[in-house]
Amino acid sequence: MLVRQRKVTALALIAMLAAAACSTEEKRSTGSPAPNGAAPAPAKRGGTFRMAISEPRWIDPALGEFLISKRLFVGLTMFDGNPELKMRPAVADTWAATADCMQWTFNLRPNKFSNGEDVTAESFIRGWTRAADGRAASLVAAHLAGIQGYKELHGEVGSPTATTFSGLSAPNPQTLVVRLSSPDCEFDKKSNHTVMSPVPSVAGAADNKTFNEAPIGNGPFMFKPGTKWEHDKGISLVRNESYFDAKPNIDGIEFTVFPAQNASENIYKAFQVGELDIAAVPLGLRSQSDATYSPQGGFIRHLGYAISFMVPNNAKGPMANADARKAVSLALDRDAINSGISQGYAIPATALIPPPFGDFHQPGTCEGCKYDPVRAKELAAKGGLAPGTRLKFLAPASPVPQAMKEMLERTLDIVVDLQSPPGGALLQSMRAGDFDIGLNGWHADYPTPDNFLFPLLGTGSGENDSRYSNPEFDALIRRERTQKDDNERRRIFLEAERIAIGRDQALIPTFYIPSLMVVDGQKWTGVTLNFFDHPRFETMSLK
Amino acid sequence: MGFVLIGASMVLFVCLFVLPGDPLQTVQGEGARLDAAARATLAARYHLDESLPRQYGHYVARLARGDLGESYRLRRPVNDVLGQRIANTAKLAVGALLVEVVVGAAAGAFSALARSSFVDVLVTVATTAAIGVPVFVVGLLLQDVFAVRLHLLPLQGARDGLRSLVLPAVTLGAIHSAMIARLTRASLLDVLGSDYVRTAAAKGLPPRTVVLNHALRTSLTPILTYVGAGFGGLLGGAAIVETIFNWNGVGLALVTAISTQDNPIVIGVVTYAVVVFVTVNLVVDLACALLDPRIALR
């Protein structure tokens, strides 16, 4: 059973969809390139970047928060957004897997926690062990599930039978050896997850509330000396002068807590009056914001590693038939939804793996993703989706699913029963299989298509709400995990997507989800968003 | 108070128990899911694997020690989560009470003393408008004028001390101050026509003494009763005002807790609210008795 903190919720995807940008430009820096190829001026140091957050549930990396803990902790590898999806050295400067990808060895470079303690292989073992411990009830522990000994440490019903992680060892302080319970030739990509952070000896167990109030890490930032997390108020970070890599240009980050309710509008207003340096653009203000802030280089469009999609129930009911699923997909006029509701600020999807995946994105894989009402009717008839058929559609209350409902009813002459249970009840209904079609979304945890294909479509995955189960597809996923050759692995990924999406239409891709943000472009330069859709605090600077 | 508290908590416990859904899963949010091991750990920690009466027993036992349990969502003690928020909401409530009593009573008194004058008409029209305008409209309007356009007061948050309190307190107190103005006007007009006020005036007392010492004192009784009864509504309105002004109070905590089925927080807020509501009404009853000896307890 998997637990994914990075999953985009149905509600959130609707909000993001509405806030999405139509441009395929991945990101736009607020800075200007040096004219005529001249060497850029050295980045100015100083300044405190002010950003709003909602009150985190925790910031200990073992428990599943990203924005703060990614500033405080750096793991073995990091990802810079390259289209080949290659990991870059972080704490580990070299790493290698055995021929069968069952064992990985990471060689660490010397670096320290901000309290002066050395970061060693034991620091990683400590961090991963406390996160995997069942008593921690971590929401992200499952990212460690591929390591030998996880089941014993985590337990099945809260009663672990081990206290150490048998798959981890440190032959010397600078070498970490990881033994897996099944082959994974992309384990290095997973090591970028916050749950795989090293922690100092003072961290204690994952439910150590003292450590959670001001975690000590090895990242580019640290808690401002003498401060800790001020609940419901904010968090102050400063540059970690002992950081082993290029130090940030900015002196620090001031995170101010905003209540979740009405947050978008309040945060945007606070940005407008100069209380914040960055803000997400609220739904109704996209065009206005674009027009106001783009000329001063303050409007950011960022196409993330994410997608929204319709989830047909492959296991039972009318959607168990592939032709019926294609009929539903062909009946959706994505362009009309984009122009009519999203005001052009969305990108109709034509494949499951989104464009930022570079060489792994196959535009047009989803043949049913183009609007074709005639073909939709033909396939509906062929697939047993007769006029008058009732479909239970689970989605958040929003104009987008309402438009989808009307399109399906009009084109296919069926009855769509749109239901919008509040909060987590929607997800619980989806997980229980009590639906015909649903609306959901996904954001990558790691930069690999495996992180889309297996969780969403693999047999036995806890996130596979569509209940798609295809031995041919599963065999491809197993094969790619044992494949060390990047080109061959890529070929398998593409084939697996063509089978599940192109042929079987197991999921119905709808839109890619760009983030829209505004930043004080007269004050800051180099503000772009990273893989996690967070500002690149590490490289931004004052103008 | 004890009976009220026990009654309220029992009703709430039953209501929360019959709600559909798994609280432990719901509090994780839509995008995350507990696995079996984590769920079992948390269920045991929060006694959710036990029957409702036993859960209620744990709650009462903890309450006797002043412990309201731990938030399912934040995994922090409810008292810690609500501590600062209660202080924030108390500041907001006191500020709003001051606004509504001072502004409302003054406007009502002037209106009554200058009956049928321009001031009276102005107060009547203004109070009618204020009662009809939703609190969020008042808040957004004040924000737009005083923070965004004039830059006189902070837009949101509580970082600027008393200056931060002005707009939220005025917003929250506006509607109630209009009600109090109407109530004061009606009450004062009624008292001004009574025999004992006419007698005081006939004895040659200065008009100011007649109004302040004799008429206004008696007419305050219904106003105080209204303030006490309206305190619950004030707390309800606080949730909206806290949302608009990014004011981290219990109202916001309650809204979040209800939507995420974070039951310990819901019960904690209600427990505090019952204590405060009962206490405020007790104080109001005592104050009324002090102002008007005729209603003093024998």
Mean pLDDT of A41-54: 90
Q: Do residue A428 and residue B246 have CB atoms under 8 angstroms apart?
A: no
Three-state secondary structure call for residue A50: strand
Q: What is the pLDDT of residue B240?
A: 85
Complex ipTM: 0.76
**Is residue B86 very low, low, confident or very high in pLDDT (cuts 50, 70, 90)?**
confident
- Residues 18..37 of A with a Cβ closer than 8 Å to B: which? none
- Mean pLDDT along residues A433-460: 94
- Give the mean model confidence (pLDDT) for residues B195-210: 82
Whether A306 and A354 have beta carbons less than 8 Å apart is answered as: yes
Burial class (CB in 10 A: 0-12, 13-18, 19+), A373: middle
Residues 6+ apart with CB under 8 A from B86: B249, B250, B272
> Residues 14..73 of B with a Cβ closer than 8 Å to A: which?
20-22, 25-42, 44, 73
Tell me the nearest-neighbour CA distance from B93 into chain A, angstroms. 19
Q: H/E/C letters for each residue in A203-226?
A: HCCCCCHHHHHCCCCCCCEEECCC
* Closest Cα in chain A, distance from residue B80 (Å): 9
Beta-carbon separation of A261 and B148 below 8 A: no
Mean pLDDT, to the nearest integer, of A421-444? 85
pLDDT grade, residue A39 (50/70/90)? low
Write down the pLDDT at residue A519: 97
Nearest Cα of chain B lies from the Cα of A419 at a distance, in angstroms, of: 15
User: A1 to chain B: nearest residue by CA?
Assistant: B35
Looking at the DSSP bridge assignments, the partners of residue A254 are: A50, A236
Q: Model confidence over A288-323: pLDDT tens digits? A: 899 999 998 899 999 999 999 999 999 999 999 999
Nearest CA in chain A to B151: A273
Chain A (450-479) residues lying within 8 Å, Cβ to Cβ, of chain B: 462-463
- Least confident among A14-18, B99-103, B210-214: A14-18
What is the torsional sign of CA A328, A329, A330, A334?
positive
How many A×B Cβ pairs under 8 Å?
A: 151
User: What distance in Å separates the CA atoms of residue B136 and residue B140, rounded to the nearest whole number?
Assistant: 6
- Cβ-Cβ contacts under 8 Å for A434 (sequence gap 6 or more): A392, A394
| Mean per-residue pLDDT of chain A | 89
Question: Among A123, A154, A151, which residue's Cα sits nearest to residue A137?
Answer: A154
Burial class (CB in 10 A: 0-12, 13-18, 19+), B193: exposed
Judge: B27–A135 Cβ closer than 8 Å, yes or no: no
What's the pLDDT tens digit per position in A16-32?
A: 443 333 333 333 333 34
Which chain B residues are within 8 Å of A282, Cβ to Cβ?
Answer: none
Please state the rounded mean pLDDT for residues A71-80.
95
pLDDT-derived band at B129 (thresholds 50, 70, 90) equals confident
What pLDDT is recorded for position A8?
45
Mind telling me how many Å the CA of A5 is from chain B's nearest CA? 5
A58-67, A303-312, A534-543, B236-245: the lowest-pLDDT one? B236-245
Could A259 and B260 be called an inter-chain contact, meaning their C-beta atoms sit closer than 8 Å? no
Confidence of residue A87 (pLDDT cuts 50, 70, 90): very high
pLDDT digits (tens, 9 = 90+) for A121-167: 999 999 999 999 988 888 889 899 999 999 999 987 657 788 899 99
| A64 neighbourhood in chain B, CB within 8 Å | 32
Question: Is residue A77 predicted with pLDDT exceeding 80?
Answer: yes
Indicate yes or no: CB of A154 within 8 angstroms of CB of B255. no
What is the structure's pLDDT at B296?
Answer: 60
Enumerate the residues of chain A whose CB falls inside 8 A of the CB of residue B39: 137, 158
Look at residues B54, B53, B1, B45 and name the one whose alpha carbon lies nearest to residue B23. B45
Confidence of residue B32 (pLDDT cuts 50, 70, 90): low
Q: Is A432 on the interface with B (CB under 8 A)?
A: no
Contact B31 A4 (CB under 8 A): yes
Instruction: Choose the weakest-confidence range: A205-209, A321-325, A341-345, B3-7.
Output: B3-7
- Say yes or no to pLDDT of B53 above 60: yes
- A269 Cβ neighbours under 8 A, 6+ residues apart: B143, B148, B155, B156
In chain B, whose CA is at the least distance from the CA of A442?
B31
pLDDT band of residue A402 (cuts 50, 70, 90) is very high
Looking at A197-211, B26-40, B266-280, which range is the least confident one? B26-40
| Interface contact A423-B30, CB threshold 8 A | yes
Are the Cβ atoms of A266 and B246 closer than 8 angstroms? yes
Report in angstroms the alpha-carbon separations of B295 from A356, B221, B291, B298.
75, 10, 9, 9
- pLDDT given at position A28: 33
- Name the pairing type of β-strands A252-257 and A168-172: unpaired
Mark yes or no for CB contact B32/A5 under 8 Å: yes
Please report the pLDDT score of residue B124 as a whole number. 86
**Structural domains for chain B:** 2-64 (no CATH), 82-297 (1.10.3720.10)
How much of chain A, in percent, has pLDDT values that exceed 90?
74
Where does the pLDDT of residue A38 fall: very low under 50, low under 70, confident under 90, or very high at 90 and above?
A: low
Read off the pTM.
Answer: 0.83
- Report how far residue B275's alpha carbon sits from residue B292's, in angstroms, rounded to the nearest whole number: 26
* Residue A84 pLDDT: 87
Q: Which chain A residue's Cα is nearest to B239?
A: A261
Q: How far apart are the C-alpha atoms of A61 and B78, rounded to whole Å?
A: 23
Residue owning tokens 């007769």:
A386
A215-265, pLDDT tens digit by residue?
999 999 999 999 999 988 899 999 999 999 999 999 999 999 887 766 888
Distance from C-alpha of B130 to C-alpha of B134, rounded to nearest angstrom:
8
| Pick from A323-337, A373-387, B8-22: least confident | B8-22
Which of B33, B45, B47, B140 would best serve as a mutation to test chain A binding (most A beta carbons within 10 A)?
B33
State whether B28 and A270 contact (CB < 8 Å): no
Half-sphere exposure of B118 (CA within 13 A, CB side): 0
Highest-confidence segment of A2-16, A415-429, A477-491: A477-491
C-beta atoms of A273 and B147 within 8 A: yes
- pLDDT at res. B14: 79
Q: pLDDT class for A523, splitting at 50, 70, 90?
A: very high
